[in-house]
Structure formats: structure tokens, C-alpha cells
Amino acid sequence: MNEHKKIQLKDYRPFEFIVDHVDLIFDIRDDHTRVTSKLKMRKDPARANETTPLVLNKGTFDIVSVVAGDMVLLPSEYKSDDETFSLLATPDLFELEITNILKPDENTALEGLYRSGNILCTQCEAQGFRNITPYPDRPDVMAPFSCTIVADKARYPVLLSNGNLVKSGDLDNNRHFAVWEDPFKKPCYLFALVAGDLAVLKDQFTTASGRDVALNIYSEKEDIALCSHAMTSLKQAMAWDEKRFGREYDLDLYQIVAINDFNAGAMENKGLNIFNAKYVLADPQTATDDDFMGIQGVIAHEYFHNWTGNRVTLKNWFQLSLKEGLTVFRDQEFSSDMNSRPVKRIRVVKNLMAAQFPEDSGPMTHPVRPDSYIKMDNFYTMTVYEKGAEVIRMIYQLLGQDLFRKGMDLYFEKFDGMAVTLEDFVGVMAKVSGRNLDQFFLWYTQSGTPAVSMTRQYDENTEILSLTFTQTTSPDRNQSEKKPFHIPVRISLINRAGETVKQDALYELTKETDTFKFDNVPADTYPSVFREFTAPVRLTTDFSDQDLAFLMARDTDPFNQWHAAQTLFVNEIKNLVTAIQANKPMTVSSGLVKAFSLALENREKDRAFLSKALTLPLETEIKNHFKIIDVEAIHQARTFLKQTLAKKLASELKTVYEICRSANPDDISGAAMADRSLKNLCLSYLGCLVNKDIQDLVQKQFETAGNMTDEFAAFKILSHMNPDVRDEACHAFYDKWQTRTLVIDKWFSVQAQSSLEDTLDQVKKLTAHKDFTMANPNKVRALIFAFAMNNPMHFHRADGRGYEFVAERILALDKINHQTAARLCSCFNLWKRYDGNRQVMMKKQLETMAGQKELSRNLYEIVSRALE
């Protein structure tokens, strides 16, 4: 394994040149594309008359010709290798024209210019633009771009790039061209090009100031009928950003293209978003309610980047959370306004706890603003995105809605058209509020999840309730000693009757220990703390299980009700695990069964909320509550708890199942989705009982479902029952959906996550299925990621075959798509937390990977951090 260089924040230097204009020409041919880049450049005035070498980033392609001014340069007059293109000296002002040849059909890494089916497209963030043409591939170099595309008219009738179409026409030999101009200066990571035979869905939006914007969503022809939900979501997002943040769209055209082969979710290229088709295409027959929500959220996210990311961009990649954390916060707020706010909050926090907390406790732990990276792609993480959004949310809590909006306004006013830093953002927030946010800034520079404990002291004589909070953050590879964080805590007091005794207010922890006193508090008052999850901390309290059952039923904050329920479940499962490990019989406490049945009776409440509150934490979430993870005991304990609840409450679960069945299958309103989620939760409890009637019920829903939400919910349950039932369901589902690639992804993922004994062998078999390919990231995620990340029982098989299989796939994938291979490898990150045998086996796989001669830089970084 070769060593690779770390890029460090402290080494940041501004670029020595200014790019005044970029003119790109793409001449698309059947087996190659010729790219010509004409750069108008000038030396930074501060360096005029200095001899400054020009060093551009460059991919592994060959240069065809270089023209500087009017001079054709000889190869000896410039330097070009696999990473850089350089000129020893330049005049102060100059033009440079570089031509090179690309082979997009051979580009399986899917960064730069590549082919997806019949479409040629680009993905440049973070550093893919250098694979298109030599360029200062860094976000602080901003320039206006124009782009000419020339291609065969029959094969590529649609030619798109950023900005506005200024010219197009026919050429000889059945070829045609289009010229695009983007008037806004942008960094090259926002450049995009699409060429293909695409269908388009057109619509229009009038901005608050009365400008008409044409909205075009492109997809493969057979999918165009599936784009209307994405279009509705786009218009909702445009209206919302005007209303909530006063931000209007700035071009006359907004384009979205759905692509089948895509490494990430989507990309906010200026005026030409490119999307993973999964986040565009939907109808109720083929997409679940969760898919519909996902599309709404991602469409909005990319749209919101137009201001937070594009108009105001990043000084360097270390600041990534400046655009991602902020934009995730904005899309979360949008989804909360469009749907149920508490349910959205629960989803977000569940995801944070399930995926970001473990990331922050393992070898990949990094501050929201990392200090160094080998490959930036590895830092598109839960920490930068989701924890980054929590940090913004804390600022929002500390300032309040009005001051936060003032801060945002000032941010756009001051920094429009610039490449800035997190200090710039926090600076405007400090300025408008008059607050000192220096300690707060530690959230950006210090890694790790603070553990906060809360204890109560009540004095009956004085009627004073004191709440003492203590925070500790474990040292890690980033900082050997942690300073206390500035932690906002929203607190309210409630009495036994569930009435508010003291209104919700914000308190701030700034020291290792802080105590807040409340007077005139009657006995039997409950504090509701960290309401709406005011800060990304691991909270422990002195609440007993009875207290938690009370809070689950009566907390005035639905998020905290959910949190109390989850804590109760986790406590119960921990007790069961202890029993299993001590070889004692398992029992479920009657208090828990009662709390659960009480909640179920309360079904007139928000059903979407209820279905979240009654969902057991996943095994992958439960593991985070253990120092040493006992995979089998956790699986057994959770299964036992689920079966016990199902057995004891079978008739109640059936009643609720029936009550929630009336929703019209195509109705995607909040109420209809809520009914389906509660109904399918009840079915999933019932489905773990081995019982012919129940099996028939699930089977019937599977066969007669009027939409994918219900069909898929039943399919999942059948996949765990027994091999015959699973196989029959798999055949039926495949026969019905084999032509729909996104539905086939669901088919792969259900099989990968089955709890049945032969799952690993099934997964191996599926890697040879004609619809499976390692070249398509969605397929790899559906089968291999789903197995490695969401099927702990089988990935962590005691015989080590799960590890062997996944490690072998990672190495195979690394030759095709290094970004995705590196992501997959994070399934080994927590190897030190498993029992001795598993540790040895996981480590061995990491070492085998490390021992490879040709490891990509992406995978090298993940493997070497895991082994450090």
C-alpha cells in the first residue's frame, strides 16, 4: 500500500491567478469526446511582474495541443503528468487554449464526463472537473463559463449545460450544436453537461418579483410520466425559499436531469441539476411513501443550494458544511413545513443517532470542519451534512427565528458572488445578535458526540427543583483533550396531569457542569429537557422506566415522547441482552407492554407520529448503546421483544390495522401516508408471529396492494418468514416489476436484509443475476451495502464468511468505482467494538485490503484510518 499525501486546512493558500472567462467546447464523437478549453487568465495583481508558475490540476488524459496567446506550444514548453499541467512562467495577462481527448465510455468511476446508458453527463464535485480539462480545480476560483456542445443529432438530440441557451443549430453530417452561457461566476465543481435522447416535462414558475422561470425535468423517454412529483416538489421549494428566506431564483431556466448511474443523491450544478433517478422518478405504483418524501427533500435541497452553495460558495473544501449543513437545515425546515414537523424531526434525529453518532465514535471521526483529508469524496459524511445541520439548528435556537433570518440576509448581502468560510457565516450571526459565538465555534472544530447527563434534585420545603447537567466528550484522534461545548437546552416543566407548569425556554450549558434552579415547583413535576433535540448529544437522565413511560404518554413535546419510548425500548433490550448473556430466561416487563398498548389506544393522535413512536430501534441503532457489541444477543433480544409485544397485543394490533386500511391507495396526502405507516407497522409486528392466519393476511396485502408502500411492506415481512414463502414472494415481485430498475433495487435490498439462515448464499447468488452489476451504484447499494450495513446478523456471521464476501466485493469495486468502494468499506469501521473473534476476522480483511498493490486513494484513506 502506497502512502498518500494529506491535504491540510492550515496549508491553504489563495490561487495566484484569476480566471476571467472559461470557454469550453465539447466535440462528442462515437468513441471519444474532444474537449477544448479557452481560458482568459491574469496573474493576481499582487504578483504582477513576479515569475509565478501556473499549475493546473489535471486527470490522466493526454493533451493534444496547447496554445498560449497565438503561439502553439511544443510539449517541451509545458509540463503535463497524471496530476498537473504547468507552465513555468506566464505574462500578467494571457489566454490559454488546451485541447484533450476523453473516453467517457470507459469512465466507470462516474466522476468527470461519463456515460450512463444512452446519456453523456458530468459529475464534478468535489474534484471531477480536472478529469475533463486542466483547470484550477478549487472552489475559490470563480469564473463565468460558456459551453459549446457539438454532437450527432439523432443520438444526442438534447444538449444541455449551465445557464442560458444562447445559440443552437444544425451542422453537416447530421450533427448539431448548442451554445450555453452562464452569466454567474462559479467554481468549476458546479459545471455540468448533459447530452442524450431525453424526454422533457415542462412547467413554469413566476417568482415573487414577477419573473417567469421555465422549469424542465428531463429523463429517459420511458420514465417521463414519473417526473410530476419532482416538478411539484420543485415549485413548492421555489415558493418556500421566497417566503421563508426571501430568496428568488436568478436565471430564466431551471433544469433537472434524472440519471441511472450516479454516485451520490444529486448535484446542484448551476441551472442544471443532475440527479440520481431514484430522487426524481415516482408514482404510487412503484415508489413508496418514503420515496416520495425523499424526492421532495432532495429536489428542495439541490434547489436551495442555488443560494447556499452556488451564489455564496466555499473558500476551500474544508468548509463543505458551510453549504451542506446549512442546506440540509434548510431542506429539513422545508420538509417540516410541508409535512408533519415532529415526524420530520424524529426521522432526522433517528438517522443522526443511527449513523452520525457511530461515525463520530470510530476511525472516521472528524470535526464538522475537518482539518485534513486525502480524498475529499470521503468527507461527504453524516458529520458534515447531518451534524452540520444540527449546528446550524443550534444557532437558529440561540438567536431565534427573526435574528437568524437577519443573519441570513446579511450573509447573502455581504458574501454574494464570493467564496467564504464558516467563520464568515458564524460571524454574521454573531454580528446581528450581538452574541459572542467563540465557544460555540468548537462545534465546528472539535469532533465527538458530547455525553450529557441530567440529574434532578427537589427540595420539598423550598419547592425548588434543580437540574444539573454534566457534559463530557471522550478524547479521540483529533483532540486528546476536549473543551466543554456551548450547548443550548430547551426545557419545560409538566405536572402529573400532563399540564405545563413552566413554559418552554432556552437554557445554555457552557461549563462541564451547569445547574438550573426552578422555584415554586410542586412535587411530582417532570422536566422535559432537550425538547426537539436542541443539541446533538447523547443524553442520559435519572428517569426511571416509570418516568419514561409517563413521558412517553404525556410529554408535551412529541419528539420527547418518541425519545422516551425509544429509551424504554433500549432499556428493555439491554435487560434482555443481559439475561441472554447470563443464560437466564427472558422476560418483558409488564410496564412496557402497558405503555405500548396505551399508546396504541390513543390512535386518534397523529398516526404518522404514533407509527414512529412504536417502532423498535433497529439492531444497528441498538448496538450503539453497548461498549462491546454482541450481535447475536441483540438480534435475539429485539426479536423476542417484538414477538412478545405482538403476542400480547395481537388483537389491538389487528384492530388498528383494520382501522387504518381505508386510505385510497394513490393518495399521497399526509393523512393517507400516516394511515399506511401505522397500518404497516402493525402488520410488521403481527408478521413476526408464526401463524397461518397472519401469513394469509400479509400474503393478501402483498397480492392485492394498490401501491408500492403496501406491497413493499408486505414483501419485507414475507422475506423473513421462511425460505419457501420468501422465494415465492421474490418470484412474484420480480415477475411483476422486472422492467422497472428502481423497483428491482428494492427487490435486491429486501433479499439482502432477510434474517433467514441462507441469506449470505442468496446474496452471493444475486451478484450473478442478470439485473445486477457492480457498475451501477444503486445496484451495489441495494445488494451489497444493504447486506453489509443493514443485516448485522449475517454480515457479522460467526464464521467470518460475511466479512470475506464484502471485503472481496470492495476490492472488486475499487477497480471500477473508487468513491463507492471507499463508502462501502466503512462497514468495517467499528471492528474494535466486537468480540475478540470478530475483531480478528474484521481486522484481517482490512489488512488484506491494505496489502493490495493498487488501492485507490479513496479506499486507502478509509482502510488506513481504520487500522491506525
Residues lying near Zn ion in the complex (CB under 5 A) are found at: 324, 327
- Residue closer to ligand ARG by CB (options 321, 719) is 321
E strand or H helix that includes residue 366 = none
- Grouping H, G, I as helix, E, B as strand and the rest as coil, residue 3 is coil
Q: What spatial distance separates the first Cα and last Cα of the chain, rounded to whole Å?
A: 14
Binding-site string for ligand ARG from residue 705 to residue 724, where x marks contact by CB under 6 A and - marks none: --------------------
- Residue closer to ligand ARG by CB (options 185, 301) is 301
- Residue closer to ligand ARG by CB (options 264, 641) is 264
Q: What angle do CA 150, 130, 122 make, to 5 degrees?
A: 50
C-alpha cell recorded at residue 605: 393522535
Contacts of 188 (CB under 8 A, 6+ apart): 22, 124, 129, 135, 136, 137, 141, 145
Query: CA torsion sign, 549 to 550 to 554 to 559?
Result: negative
Spot the catalytic one: 97, 125, 302, 359.
302
In Å, how far are 23, 306, 334, 369 from 251, measured between CA atoms?
19, 10, 22, 31
- Residue closer to ligand ARG by CB (options 291, 302) is 302
Which of Zn ion, ligand ARG, none does 398 bind, CB closer than 5 to 8 A by kind?
none
- Residue closer to ligand ARG by CB (options 302, 675) is 302
E strand or H helix that includes residue 817 = none
Cβ neighbours of 524 (radius 10 Å): 11
Q: Which amino acid is at 817?
A: N
Among 120, 126, 238, 529, binds ligand ARG (CB under 6 A): 126
Which of ligand ARG, Zn ion, none does 125 bind, CB closer than 5 to 8 A by kind?
ligand ARG
In Å, how far are 57, 472, 612, 782 from 91, measured between CA atoms?
20, 56, 64, 53
Say how far apart CA 353 and CA 451 lie, in whole Å: 13
Binding-site string for ligand ARG from residue 251 to residue 290, where x marks contact by CB under 6 A and - marks none: ------------xx-xxx----------------------
Cβ at position 348, least distance to Zn ion in Å: 15
Binding-site string for ligand ARG from residue 306 to residue 335, where x marks contact by CB under 6 A and - marks none: ------------------x-----------
| Dihedral pair phi/psi, residue 438, rounded to 5° | -65, -50
Asked if 711 is an active-site residue, the reply is no
Cell 462501502 locates to 824
- Residue closer to ligand ARG by CB (options 125, 359) is 125
Which of Zn ion, ligand ARG, none does 267 bind, CB closer than 5 to 8 A by kind?
ligand ARG
Which of Zn ion, ligand ARG, none does 621 bind, CB closer than 5 to 8 A by kind?
none
Cβ at position 301, least distance to Zn ion in Å: 5
- Residue closer to Zn ion by CB (options 327, 817) is 327
- Residue closer to Zn ion by CB (options 23, 268) is 268
Cβ at position 308, least distance to Zn ion in Å: 9
In Å, how far are 466, 558, 563 from 493, measured between CA atoms?
12, 14, 16
Q: What angle do CA 813, 785, 562 make, to 5 degrees?
A: 155
Instruction: List the one residue out of 507, 510, 513 whose CA is nearest residue 485.
Output: 510
Cβ at position 297, least distance to Zn ion in Å: 11
Contacts of 560 (CB under 8 A, 6+ apart): 528, 529, 530, 531, 532, 551
C-alpha cell recorded at residue 837: 473473534
Cβ at position 199, least distance to ligand ARG in Å: 24
Query: CA torsion sign, 283 to 288 to 290 to 291?
Result: negative
Q: What does the radius of gyration of the chain's CA atoms come to, in whole angstroms?
A: 28
| Dihedral pair phi/psi, residue 25, rounded to 5° | -125, 125
Q: Please write down the long-range contacts of 276-280, taking CB distance under 8 Å and 24 or more positions apart.
A: 276/778, 277/219, 277/223, 277/742, 277/778, 278/742, 278/745, 278/778, 279/230, 280/217, 280/219, 280/226, 280/227, 280/230, 280/256
Which of ligand ARG, Zn ion, none does 741 bind, CB closer than 5 to 8 A by kind?
none
| Residues between 31 and 90 with contacts to ligand ARG, criterion CB under 6 A | none
- Residue closer to ligand ARG by CB (options 697, 822) is 822
**Would strands 313-314 and 419-420 be described as parallel, antiparallel, or unpaired?**
parallel
Cβ at position 123, least distance to ligand ARG in Å: 7
Cβ at position 267, least distance to ligand ARG in Å: 5
- Residue closer to Zn ion by CB (options 327, 492) is 327
- Residue closer to Zn ion by CB (options 327, 749) is 327
Helices (H) and strands (E) in the chain, counts: 30, 31
| Residues between 372 and 431 with contacts to ligand ARG, criterion CB under 6 A | 377, 380
In Å, how far are 162, 184, 763 from 261, measured between CA atoms?
20, 28, 21
Which of ligand ARG, Zn ion, none does 266 bind, CB closer than 5 to 8 A by kind?
ligand ARG
Assess contact for 289 and 611: CB atoms under 8 A: no
Fill in the DSSP letter of residue 663: S
Which of Zn ion, ligand ARG, none does 264 bind, CB closer than 5 to 8 A by kind?
ligand ARG
Cβ at position 297, least distance to ligand ARG in Å: 11
Among 68, 109, 121, 125, binds ligand ARG (CB under 6 A): 125
Cβ at position 324, least distance to ligand ARG in Å: 6
- Residue closer to ligand ARG by CB (options 419, 672) is 419
Cβ at position 524, least distance to ligand ARG in Å: 48
E strand or H helix that includes residue 157 = none
Cβ at position 263, least distance to ligand ARG in Å: 6
- Residue closer to ligand ARG by CB (options 220, 377) is 377
Say how far apart CA 683 and CA 686 lie, in whole Å: 5
DSSP secondary structure string for all residues of 328-350: HHHHHHHHHHHS-HHHHHHHHHH
Among 137, 289, 291, 302, binds ligand ARG (CB under 6 A): 302
Assess contact for 63 and 159: CB atoms under 8 A: no
Cβ at position 329, least distance to Zn ion in Å: 11
Q: Should residue 188 be labelled a site residue for ligand ARG when binding is judged by CB under 6 A?
A: no
Assess contact for 447 and 464: CB atoms under 8 A: no
Which of ligand ARG, Zn ion, none does 126 bind, CB closer than 5 to 8 A by kind?
ligand ARG
E strand or H helix that includes residue 22 = strand 17-28
Cβ at position 101, least distance to ligand ARG in Å: 25
Ramachandran quadrant class, 112 (left: phi over 0; alpha: psi -120 to 50; beta: rest): left
Binding site for ligand ARG (CB under 6 A): 125-126, 263-264, 266-268, 301-302, 324, 377, 380
What residues are labeled active site?
302
